[in-house]
């Protein structure tokens, strides 16, 4: 799941109880991480940026996005 774009900015954990979500942390990876605890919302990865397309990802998530040409939302991992 990708973060929602609201007013031109990425927002995480957007749902009916939190319609504005949380603002993007500009220094952290932009990957949305699924939290299976509680209600299972998506949060921004807390690792530092500097890798992958446009330097927006951490080292771990950059590998996922470089293997598919930087096309967000298309997973390359086998399930």
Q: Give the model confidence (pLDDT) of 29-57 as tens digits.
A: 999 998 887 677 889 999 999 999 899 99
Residue 20 domain-assigned (yes or no): yes
What is the extent of the structural domain holding 27?
Answer: 4-66
pLDDT at position 64 is: 87
Q: Please compute Rg for the chain using Cα positions.
A: 13
Distance CA 47, CA 65 (A): 15
Is 73 inside any structural domain? Answer: no
Whose structure tokens read 């799941």?
A: 1
Give how many domains the chain has, as a whole number.
1
In a domain, 52, yes or no: yes
43 assigned to some structural domain: yes
Element (H, E) at 62: helix 59-66
Task: Answer for the pair 24, 11: CB distance below 8 angstroms, yes or no.
Answer: yes
Residue 78 domain flag: no
Question: Is residue 11 situated within a structural domain?
Answer: yes
Helix (H, G, I), strand (E, B), or coil: what is residue 32? strand
* Token pair for 27: 């220094």
pTM over 0.75: no
Does residue 25 belong to any structural domain of this protein? yes
């Amino acid at each position: 799941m990708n973060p929602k774009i609201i007013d031109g900015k990425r927002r995480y954990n957007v749902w009916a109880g939190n319609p504005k979500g949380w603002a993007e942390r500009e220094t952290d990876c932009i990957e949305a991480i699924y939290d299976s605890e509680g209600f299972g919302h998506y949060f921004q990865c807390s690792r530092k940026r500097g890798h992958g397309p446009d330097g927006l990802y951490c080292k771990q998530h950059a590998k996922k996005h470089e293997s598919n040409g930087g096309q967000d939302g298309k997973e390359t991992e086998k399930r």
